[in-house]
Homo-oligomer: A and B are copies of this chain.
Amino acid sequence: MNKITVSIALGAAALFLAGSASAQVKPEDQIKYRKAAYSFASWNMGKIKANIDGAYDAAQVRAAADAVAAVAGSGLGALFGPGTEKAIGDQKTAVKPELFQNGAEVAKLAGNFATAAAALVKAADSGDAATVKTAFGDVGKTCKACHDQFKARN
């Protein structure tokens, strides 16, 4: 892992913890936006998987990796504010209440996600499907690690 990758990961963890003081978002919109962020990441992970399993399009994989990294680095912690522990109206959430009581652990997991996503971008730059496959698997593990602890349903 190089210095830039470490810096991105620590930055993302810091962002996760710090939240976004400058952009106050209503609790129901926080839930909406965090689900959108993970859904957008999921679509892009799916594209990468399809490229690994089928015809490999390096440009598409790179764009998808950028998207996953952008989600990981977007400061998602700001979307887990007070009042977002459970559904608000139509905005359902699968988050476990434990997430809100384990800030340090969540920040660590978020940092792992950002580190793995940055490595995926680097792997995508190589244009080598096998390299991307390994990095993709590593990102998937960081997704699962957080879901296992803090997501109520999968």
Q: Which residues of A contact B (CB under 8 A)?
A: 11, 15, 20-25, 29, 32-33, 35-37, 39-40, 42-44, 46-47, 49-51, 54-55, 57, 59-60, 63-64, 66-67, 69-71, 73-75, 79
Contact = CB atoms under 8 A, between A and B. Distances in A.
B23 A50 contact: yes
10 contacts: A22-B51, A22-B54, A24-B50, A36-B36, A36-B37, A36-B40, A40-B40, A40-B71, A63-B70, A67-B70
- The main secondary structure of chain A at its interface with chain B is helix
A51 B22 CA distance: 6
B60 A67 contact: no
Contacts of A79: 43
